[in-house]
Amino acid sequence: MDKVTPPTTRREFIARGLYGAALAALANGLVTRASGDDAATIGAAPQPKSAAAGKAKAVIQIWLWGGPCHIDMFDPKPNAGRDYCGPYGRALATNVDGIQISPMLPLLAKMADKYALLRGMTHGNNGHETAAYLVQAGRKPGGDLVYPGIGAVVSYFKGYSFGYKGMLPPYLTLTAPQGRFSEAGFLPSKYKPFSTGGDPSRDPFLVEGIMAENITTERQKDRRTLLGELDSFAKAMGDNALVKGVDASQQQAYEMILGDAGKAFVLSEEKNDVRDRYGRSKFGQSCLLARRLVERGVPFITINHEGWDTHKQHFEAMGRKLPELDRAVSNLLQDLAERGLLDSTIVWVSGEFGRTPKVQWEAPWNGGRGHYGKAFSALVAGGGFRGGTVVGKTDDHGETVAERPIYPWDLLGSMYELLGIGANAKLLTPQGQTLCVSPLAANEIPAKETGGLLKEIM
């Protein structure tokens, strides 16, 4: 005869549910504080004592998901003709002599002294997933290992293992993850970003896992008190180390929901004119939120801005996307500068590649641009990068890099230097291999495939 299991009481059911919820929070990366032996687990190889010594303390990565066209943004070719420029047959002078950008970016043109344009970006890969991996991990695809992206690396070296005290996770994505590659690579999953979900242009901004619609702060506090009273399981376990760890994680989660840390996501605290300047779009308010997160010490924020994979009707899309980008990024740079944060914050605007310089007017593209990894552009500002400069040059049609090629590992290696991490910093794989964060330090890149670190603007 089968053994009859006694019925679960309501008290036991709730207690078990609370315990399971806390474990789920840990597993999903909502609570990411590392244990004290974390450095020994992942970084048994020699490590810097801290990454705090770098000029840069944080990175805001603005990822133009799908691949933006360099000719229509940061590398205009006004003399190339309609087949290359479409309706953008002129260039706009900036506040730095000799630097011109797209006429669709008039606000950014007024602050070229604050950023550098990297016009020599190249890797030659035209696939979204592999190109995204190249640009964000700074490694060639293939092989047995999936390397961590720069956000995960920064999360480790500037995160809990090295003294990060913030209640917010050290690596956040606004608002959705890409899904193009595994951001943490071979590092443990806790180094993946916490993705907020939701839409920060809505009031309230409902951060997934933190805020729920129609649930007031007082009601959240009442729920917390009730669950504490009903949690007989934790009380029965006494000093059990696992249960204590779960309890600590619960406390951190509640701090994110109910404490000062969670207020970072309350954009209604900002004045209306500030929110209006950024633009009341999802992207505009994400840029404002990124500034608020930097103010609270978060070391890496990615804004995944969709809509740049414009195979069809490219210029119609750019008529919407470029003004939105211009407004939000220009105000972000201005805000950071006025608050004394730009010198310590890298702002990086890029996609996984560019788009075909020659417009595909024929059907079914009807004025579209394809994928193009041979030549593209990026914008970097702050954190030790010198503004008012251009690095690299493409030919008269934007089809090839004519001077000073910049490969993804060149750019990421430069950012690691500015962040105080350094290209020689080591990571330990699950198989026990000791690897440098940058392939340049390990001499894995042939000399013909690197232009070197961006010393001319560092």
What was the pLDDT predicted at 6? Answer: 43
In this model, does residue 451 exceed pLDDT 70? yes
What was the pLDDT predicted at 8? Answer: 42
Q: Are 55 and 384 in contact (CB under 8 A)?
A: yes
> For every residue of 293-341, which 3-state class applies, written as one string?
HHHCCCCEEEEEECCCCCCCCHHHHHHHHHHHHHHHHHHHHHHHHHCCC
- Spatial neighbors of 195 by CB under 8 A, at least 6 apart, are 172, 173, 174, 175, 176, 177, 208
Cα–Cα dist 245/408, whole Å: 39
pLDDT classification of 405: cutoffs 50, 70, 90: very high
In this model, does residue 227 exceed pLDDT 60? no
Residue position matching structure tokens 């009601």: 219
What was the pLDDT predicted at 293? Answer: 96
Cα torsion 216, 221, 227, 228 to 10°: value is 170
On whether the pTM is more than 0.95, the answer is no
Assign a CATH topology to domain 48-205+272-457.
Alkaline Phosphatase, subunit A (3.40.720)
Cα–Cα dist 355/376, whole Å: 8
pLDDT classification of 180: cutoffs 50, 70, 90: confident
Lowest-confidence region among 8-12, 51-55, 334-338: 8-12
Q: What are phi and psi of 350, to 5 degrees?
A: -165, 165
What was the pLDDT predicted at 50? Answer: 53
What was the pLDDT predicted at 223? Answer: 57
**Structure confidence by residue, pLDDT tens digits, 308-319:** 999 999 999 999
In this model, does residue 398 exceed pLDDT 90? yes
What was the pLDDT predicted at 22? Answer: 42
pLDDT classification of 203: cutoffs 50, 70, 90: confident
**What does the block give as tokens for 291?**
């500034």
Domain with CATH 3.40.720 in the chain: 48-205+272-457
**Structure confidence by residue, pLDDT tens digits, 95-142:** 999 999 999 999 999 999 999 999 999 999 999 999 999 999 999 998
In this model, does residue 229 exceed pLDDT 70? no
